[in-house]
Amino acid sequence: MKNIPFIILVIFMLSFTMCKQETRIKKEDNVIQVDLDNPEKASLFDYFRSIELIPLETSPDVLVKGFTKMVVHQGNYYALDKPQSIIFAFDSTGKCLFKIDKKGQGVGEYSFIEDFIINPYNGYLELLEPYGEIHRFDLSGNYVESKRVTYPGFRVVHTLATLDSSVYVFHTCFEPKKIIYYNLTDQKLLHEEFEEDESIGSYSHAPYLYNDEWFFFRPFHPVVYKFGKEKLEPAFRFDFGKYATDGRTTSYSKEAERSFKKRTEEMYSQFSYMIQSVRHNQKYIMASLLWKDDDHKGNIIYDKETGKSKFILNFDENVWFNSYCGEEVIVTDEYVLMPIQWVDLEKRVSKDMLDEKQQAILEELLQADMEQNPVLIKYYFK
């Protein structure tokens, strides 16, 4: 009987240790459970304390068709207008600093821009042509030099990232293996990986950068990867329960090959969802997706501290949030930033979501007598 307190203590300590170990294992799994059948309600102000609107300059020399990528660097905004193959640079107030518009066949010119980065290892703006040209400009828009990606069997690439001063990682839509590691200095293919059907590969998402590391995701595949020094490394994954698929292979009927509408129907019947955007910071993992069809826009917000995720179809504010249809989104530890089309402004924000100063900016934008360039919406985290 004297040993009973000691035995109880041992059992308690063992139970505590096992619980801690179980919690640790679950954390290391990096699995985000998402219940797509039971969307939840939430307010944007559960996550954000304030919203700022930054109108981008509209003038005869600064006319934007649409941004597909934006980079924030030293307080300035650099954006790719892919339809026009122009890089625009704006300061923190939205004033245009310069644009790179060099379409042509001469030195320092290009035919089309597929992607761009600000390379941290040389400080240059690097513009990617899909057929392997990388054009370097300084941060004032002046041409510096061009480099070429070439190796036997090379055809086309659609996004780029850098791992050091020599090693680049490209994503291609059309090759069987979608990720290419390449040494630009040595002009050497290092390796290729991530096999996926070409019909899926046509949905292209640029990798995103967080804390100097690049991350890569696909529309129907549940794993988000990090570009490791030598190969892709799993960072975290979504568990969609009964809707979970590997999402790398698909099949379509002959009718779907001729009809985009039928192809879309068959795509959603196989996968149910299409991931449009994934971003993360120190506190959250945030994703946007289309659910069952193109009309249902959903959001996943995973709280790293609580280990809980929410699938949200409609916020209390009844506005769209996050990235759709190729729009770019940037997530930092301080804010979420999105460039949105002026015509969609009222779908994204309402007056009662803004303070007095921002309400005046919104009112002025809505009363404009001509179409304006995209507006940056900046959501500041609590």
Predicted pLDDT of residue 256: 87
Predicted pLDDT of residue 21: 35
Q: How many CA atoms lie within 13 A of 176 on its CB side?
A: 1
pLDDT digits (tens, 9 = 90+) for 352-361: 999 999 999 9
- Please state, in angstroms and rounded to a whole number, the distance separating the CA atoms of residues 86 and 77: 14
Q: Calculate the CA 163 to chain-centre distance.
A: 18
Q: Do the beta carbons of residue 283 and residue 304 sit within 8 Å?
A: yes
- How many residues are listed for the chain in this entry? 382
Q: What is the pLDDT along the chain (382 residues), one digit of tens a residue?
A: 445 554 444 444 444 444 433 333 344 469 999 999 999 999 999 999 999 999 999 999 999 998 999 999 999 999 999 999 999 999 999 999 999 999 999 999 999 999 999 999 999 999 999 999 999 999 999 999 999 999 999 999 999 999 999 999 999 998 889 999 999 999 999 999 999 988 887 777 889 999 999 999 999 999 999 999 999 999 999 999 999 999 999 888 989 888 888 888 888 899 999 999 999 999 999 999 998 888 888 999 999 999 999 999 999 999 999 766 556 799 999 999 999 999 999 999 999 999 999 999 999 999 999 999 999 999 999 9
Q: Calculate the CA 328 to chain-centre distance.
A: 6
pTM greater than the 0.75 cutoff: yes
Q: 376 by DSSP, 3-state: which?
A: strand
Distances (CA, A) of 337 to 31, 241, 298, 300, 327: 26, 31, 18, 17, 11
Q: Do the beta carbons of residue 148 and residue 127 sit within 8 Å?
A: no
- Of all residues in the chain, the percent with pLDDT exceeding 70 is 91
Predicted pLDDT of residue 227: 98
Predicted pLDDT of residue 199: 81
Q: Do the beta carbons of residue 219 and residue 274 sit within 8 Å?
A: yes
pLDDT digits (tens, 9 = 90+) for 288-307: 999 888 888 899 999 999 99
pLDDT digits (tens, 9 = 90+) for 175-184: 889 999 999 9
Predicted pLDDT of residue 285: 97
Which of 359, 351, 352, 342 shows the shortest CA–CA distance to 56? 342
